[in-house]
Structures are given as C-alpha cells and as structure tokens.
C-alpha cells in the first residue's frame, strides 16, 4: 500500500509493507517558485533518493533514470513529442531516406491508443488489409494502453523475417481482429502508378493518374520526372492521389506544390510561441512552371501532415478540386534537436496554417467534394494497390468502376471542367475550381 499526502510545503511519502513503515519528508518548492534552479534541485534530490534506496540497484543507473525522465517529460506534452535515444534517432533519419525495417505502419497516439495513420503501400501491414484509423490494442500479447509513441514504434520495428502479432480494433465497425505479420525491409518509392487512365473512364480526354506514397527527400524530383513523361504522352488533366499518405518532410511537401503553383507562391505558414516559429513557406523562385492543367486531389482519413499541406494549399489557391474524406488533422511542426550523446528531442514548436489561415491540426482539410468509402471498399482498393500494382491494365477500369467511388467522382469532375471549357471556347485553366 502506498499513499502520497501533501501537507503545506512538505511532501510525505508513506510506504507500508510486511517489513514496517518508513516515513520521509523533504522540502518542496512553493507553487509560485517556477525557476529552473529550484525545480532542477527537486529533480536531483529525487534522483539521489531513488539511486540510494530503490530496491533493484541495476535499474538505477544515471543513464536509465534520466532517459526515463526525458521520455516521460516529452510524452506528457503531446502525442507527437518524444525523446529518441541514439538508435531511435538513426531510425528516424533512415525513414526520411525511404528505408527502414518493420511493418510499414505510420502510427500516432489518438484517444489514448496507438492509431494507424497510414499503412504504407507495398508493406506487410497494407497487404494484410490493415486500414487507416485501426487502433492497436496489443503487440505480441502485450497491451499498448500504457505505451508511449516511441515504445510502440520500437515494438513494431525489428529484423526482417521476424514475426509479430497485433490485435487491432476498427472503430468504424467495432470489429476486433488478430493479425500475424512478418517484418520486412521497407523501401518506399514515393511516386507510384503513374499512367494515363483508360479512355473508357475518361472519354476523349487524356486524364493522368499519379499516387504519392509519402514526402521524403527524393519525392519532388521523382514527381517532376513523372510529370515530364506524362506531358509527353499528352496529359490534359491530372488526378493526384494522396490517400493514405502520412506526410514526411515539410520541404518536400513545399517542393511538390511547386510542381503545380507559380514560383514564389505561399504554400503554408507556421505559428508558434516564439518569433522564430512565425514562418511562411513558398515555392522556389526557380521552380519549373508547367501547363495549368485541370487537377483533382484524392484524400482520406489516412492523408496526414505533408499530404494535408499539399491538398490544403492546392484547395485554398483554387489550383485543384479536393475529393474524398476529411484528412487526419496532424498539422503540427516538430523540431528535432540532437543532443551531445547522439540522442535527440523531437517536440512540437508550431502549427501549420493553409494559405487562407485555416488551422490543419485537429481539424484536417475538408474536401470540396465529399465521397465516403466503406471499410470494405477501402480494404479492396488499398490492399490491391499495395500488392505491387498487380491489377492488369485491362482490368483496371472495371476495378475502379466497381470499387473506387472517389476516383470516379474525381474523373467526372475533371471531365466536367474540360467539357465546360470546350463548349465555351475557353482554356480549362481559366475556370476557377
């Protein structure tokens, strides 16, 4: 039995057990005394007492205690702030370079549980049918209820070939399901499925389709080359698919916007507590200008962070029609600061705002045309796409018509823009989206 009683400015800790009772008191700082020195003195005293008297001495090294304190401190701020030991920090750097080992799951803490932001394509998680919004109840039989974000990530990652079991709940249906998966080396190609859609879907217009899986270092260059090739094939309009895109690097998202917006166009701004966090991010003055073809962007609940910056900017600036469902709402800025021992702090310093000053965090981006999909439709569409694009070209149009209402609405919207332009003898780009 353990009770903590606060009396005046003294903390009394009462510990009762078979061996009797021990009572100690030590001075505590006044509530109004929030200077760094006084609080660090309390922390140092607590550290001393634990090292001196804690029953299990091999758990009380300075490294272990301070690391645990840092993890608790960062995780208490918000679900996206975390302390990373040197190994965790190296893993994060590998993520931005499109390589890591694990299941291919982007995770955030939501309503107290690890929640799937996105199962990345061509990965064990996506191939198993795991969907955005699924929540992890157990990992290898261990409850996730008290795990912080980094603990969850560490449990999910591992050596390729290692097996892992997950228990997930799907909030939309309340279904609880067990998954047996095998970790793999994840190599994420940012740009996928680039092609002109079948004329049976698009009529006389050449509508291209491109999916972006995430925003990492090579994404903008890969997309630029892809668009060059599609333009050579006569592309007249584009569908950019950002569904299940978990985001990534801010600069990469801005550079992707530069493929569709004029140079020096403000894409996103950040606002934080200190002046250094009040920033605006614009497309490069040297960005290559492309034809102003009609454009639609597909989004869903799995579109987060960088994906929300891109679709929010293209929507606000009337560059694209946004089709699908409201995005995840992860619009906060995390700065990563490396510490002398190779570990790092990742903490929230600002929030993202779209060009029209709409806050993304907690709200997401609302589509111009809302088109919901059932969990079964999501499973069919994203499992098929995550199996290496194995749908044959002659089957693609039938698959889209039967299973992907969001894609069909985007195609219809673009056809409408171009038909209107033809009938009124104006260029499609002159039409406000």
**Residues with active-site annotation:** 305, 316, 330
Strands 163-170 and 135-139: antiparallel
All residues at 6 or more sequence positions from 384 whose CB lies less than 8 Å from its CB, including other chains: 390, 391, 399, 403
Residue spans of alpha helices (H) in 97-198: 124-127, 149-156
Cα torsion angle, 113, 213, 381, 236, sign: positive
> Residue 324: which of 255, 377, 256, 250 has the closest Cα?
377
Write out the two tokens for 156. 């999910």
> For residue 270, is it left (φ>0), alpha (ψ between -120 and 50) or beta?
beta
Element containing residue 169 per DSSP (H, E): strand 163-170
Q: Which DSSP letter does residue 359 get?
A: B
Element containing residue 233 per DSSP (H, E): none
> Residue 241: which of 219, 264, 212, 218 has the closest Cα?
212
* Per-residue burial over 275-284, b = 16 or more CB atoms within 10 Å of its CB, e = otherwise: eeeeeebbbe
Q: Which DSSP letter does residue 254 get?
A: H
All residues at 6 or more sequence positions from 391 whose CB lies less than 8 Å from its CB, including other chains: 384, 399
C-alpha to C-alpha distance for 352 and 307, rounded to whole angstroms: 12
Write out the two tokens for 396. 């693609």
């Amino acid at each position: 039995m353990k009770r903590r009683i606060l009396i005046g400015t003294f903390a009394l800790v009462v510990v009762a057990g078979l061996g009797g009772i021990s009572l100690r008191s030590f001075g505590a700082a006044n509530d109004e005394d929030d200077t760094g020195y006084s609080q660090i003195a309390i922390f140092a005293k607590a550290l001393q007492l634990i090292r001196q008297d804690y029953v299990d001495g091999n758990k009380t090294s300075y490294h272990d205690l301070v690391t645990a304190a840092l993890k608790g401190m960062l995780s208490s701020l918000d679900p996206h702030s975390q302390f990373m030991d040197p190994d965790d920090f190296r893993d994060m750097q590998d993520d931005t370079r499109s390589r890591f080992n694990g299941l291919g799951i982007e995770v955030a803490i939501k309503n107290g549980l690890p929640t799937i932001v996105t199962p990345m394509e061509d990965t064990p998680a996506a191939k198993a049918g795991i969907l955005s919004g699924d929540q992890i109840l157990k990992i290898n039989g261990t409850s996730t209820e008290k795990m912080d974000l980094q603990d969850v990530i560490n449990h999910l990652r591992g050596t390729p070939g290692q097996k892992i079991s997950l228990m997930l709940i799907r909030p939309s249906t309340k279904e609880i399901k067990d998954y047996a998966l095998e970790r793999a080396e994840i190599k994420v190609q940012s740009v996928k499925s680039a092609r002109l859609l079948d004329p049976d879907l698009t009529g006389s217009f050449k509508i291209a389709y491109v999916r972006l899986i995430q925003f990492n270092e090579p994404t903008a260059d890969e997309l630029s080359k892809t668009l060059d090739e599609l333009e050579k094939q006569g592309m007249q309009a584009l569908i950019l698919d950002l569904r299940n895109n978990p985001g990534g690097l801010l600069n990469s998202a801005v550079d992707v916007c530069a493929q569709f917006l004029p140079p020096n166009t403000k894409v996103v701004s950040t606002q934080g507590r200190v002046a250094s966090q009040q920033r605006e991010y614009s497309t490069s003055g040297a960005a290559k200008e492309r034809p102003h073809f009609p454009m639609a962007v597909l989004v869903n609940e799995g579109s987060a962070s960088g994906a929300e910056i891109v679709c929010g900017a293209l929507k606000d600036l009337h560059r694209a029609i946004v089709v699908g469902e409201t995005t995840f709402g992860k619009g906060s800025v995390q700065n990563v600061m490396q510490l002398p021992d190779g570990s790092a702090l990742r903490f929230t310093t600002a929030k993202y705002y779209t060009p029209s000053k709409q806050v993304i965090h907690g709200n997401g981006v609302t589509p111009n045309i809302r088109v919901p999909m059932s969990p079964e439709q999501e499973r069919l569409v994203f499992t098929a796409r995550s199996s290496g694009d194995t749908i044959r070209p002659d089957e693609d149009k039938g698959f889209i018509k039967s299973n992907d209402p969001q894609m069909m609405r985007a195609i219809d919207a673009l056809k409408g823009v171009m038909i209107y332009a033809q009938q009124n003898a104006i260029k499609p780009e002159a039409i406000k989206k």
